Amino acid sequence: MFSRYSLLPVLIPVATLFLAGGVAHAAPSNAQWQAINVQLTRDHILPRYQTLARNSTELAAATDMLCQQPEQLAAAQTAFHNTMDAWQGIQHVQFGPVEFLMRNFSMQFWPDKKNLTSKQLNELLSQEAAANLTPEYFRGASIAVKGLPALERLLFSDKYQTPYGCQLTAAIASNVATMSREIAEEWESQQLPRIDAAPDGEDYYEDSTEAATELMKALVEPVEVVRDLKLLRPLHKGANKAKPRRAESWRSERSLRNIQLNLAALAELYRGNGSTSVKELLTAEGEAALAYQIDTHFQQLDNQLSSIDKTLYLAVKDPADHATLKQVSDQMKILHRQLEEAMQKLNIQLGFNSRDGD
């Protein structure tokens, strides 16, 4: 009978060969993550917040002009679309300065299941109080009336286009511009230094991997959020039972565009600048096939959404388009699962998902 110790000389070489065959890889180093963190912060996050600040400032100016020249409504609506484009392009980043004072919810309180925005807007309009148009008021106002959904109702509904309604529109637009500017400035002055200092482990982050974990949450979790809230809610149980008014931004007819912009932003976050990216890091870790599959899914989703030639409001009620959007939903589920797998391969522990149990 063999002693259990007599097997060790045989098992050790076998184990060595098993590991050398690519089954096990060392986790990416802090230096590798730091390169990605800096690249994504400087080239992805900061420019997008700066675009939001610039576009929202132009929106505030356009709504001011609207109150003087009502014929400028189309220009104000265009400025709203530009601002919403910018917001949708950075909405996936739900950490850092955007969390301070609940700015993320103040920018966009949605989904609004109890229609609080319309109810509270109607109350403000009925009061016609000058005190409700001041920056001081909006610092303590309900999140339902201080951001983009409130502006959408005011700019895309005839019943709100009154003299006081225009003044309220301008006041809310000014509040959005202020929040956007402050977020952009604080990312540059506060959050960027925290990212830069992550390798020292003496500031906000313990190390670069901890900082990377927040960025990777911004890559993975929004896929599920967009699928569940922006797509499945209006799709509901079928074309004949669709709920188009559950769609985000249906009044301004940009629900589908929002989803496309969300996914395009996530694709850029994944692809980075090519040589320094999550995609390349995954490939370097021996997961080239998975890296390619994720990249391909982003492209397929963009192609599928681009093939729909009507608004989401109409598409969810059309049997053929409903079927296409259901395929998009299925593809997003696969993409989310693959991104979670990628995080496991990269030894990133995403931890608690705030949407768990919703």
Question: Can you give the pLDDT of all 358 residues of the chain as single tens digits?
Answer: 334 334 444 444 434 433 333 445 678 999 999 999 999 999 999 999 999 999 999 999 999 999 999 999 999 999 999 999 999 999 999 999 999 999 999 999 999 999 999 999 999 999 999 999 999 999 999 999 999 999 999 999 987 889 999 999 999 999 999 999 999 999 999 999 999 999 988 779 999 999 999 999 999 999 999 999 999 999 999 999 999 999 999 999 999 999 999 999 999 999 998 889 999 999 999 999 999 999 999 999 999 999 999 999 999 999 999 999 999 999 999 999 999 999 999 999 998 665 443 3
Residue ending a domain, among 155, 170, 205, is 205
**Which alpha helices (DSSP H) does the chain contain, by range?**
8-18, 30-40, 46-68, 73-88, 103-107, 116-127, 135-140, 148-155, 163-186, 192-196, 208-225, 233-235, 255-271, 278-284, 288-306, 312-315, 319-345
Distances (CA, A) of 54 to 50, 79, 176, 318: 6, 11, 11, 38
Whether residues 283 and 328 share a domain: the answer is yes
User: Is 11 within the bounds of a domain?
Assistant: no
Instruction: Quote the pLDDT of residue 353.
Output: 62
Q: Is 251 helix (H, G, I), strand (E, B) or coil?
A: coil
Whether residues 190 and 51 share a domain: the answer is yes
User: By residue range, what is the domain housing residue 45?
Assistant: 29-205
Whether residues 134 and 167 share a domain: the answer is yes
Whether residues 158 and 139 share a domain: the answer is yes
Closest CA to 251 of 71, 95, 118: 118
Instruction: Quote the pLDDT of residue 202.
Output: 78
Q: Which residues contact 284 (CB under 8 A, 6 or more apart)?
A: 28
Q: How many domains does the chain divide into?
A: 2
User: Is 107 within the bounds of a domain?
Assistant: yes
- Nearest-angstrom CA–CA distance, 104 and 147: 9
Whether residues 168 and 244 share a domain: the answer is no
Whether residues 219 and 265 share a domain: the answer is yes
Instruction: Quote the pLDDT of residue 161.
Output: 84
Peptide bond into 111 cis (omega under 30): yes
Whether residues 70 and 141 share a domain: the answer is yes
Whether residues 138 and 172 share a domain: the answer is yes
- Nearest-angstrom CA–CA distance, 208 and 213: 9
Instruction: Quote the pLDDT of residue 11.
Output: 41
Whether residues 194 and 262 share a domain: the answer is no
- Nearest-angstrom CA–CA distance, 150 and 239: 29
Residue pointed to by tokens 């989803």: 259
User: Is 13 within the bounds of a domain?
Assistant: no
User: Is 319 within the bounds of a domain?
Assistant: yes
Whether residues 180 and 81 share a domain: the answer is yes
Instruction: Quote the pLDDT of residue 14.
Output: 39
Residue ending a domain, among 205, 225, 255, is 205
Instruction: Quote the pLDDT of residue 351.
Output: 80
Q: Which residues contact 217 (CB under 8 A, 6 or more apart)?
A: 94, 95, 350
- Nearest-angstrom CA–CA distance, 162 and 2: 93
Residue ending a domain, among 188, 205, 222, is 205
Triad 215, 276, 203: Cα angle to 5°: 45
Could you tell me if 108 and 70 are in contact, meaning their C-beta atoms sit under 8 angstroms apart?
A: no
pTM over 0.75: yes
Q: Residue 189 belongs to a domain with what CATH number? A: 1.20.1420.20
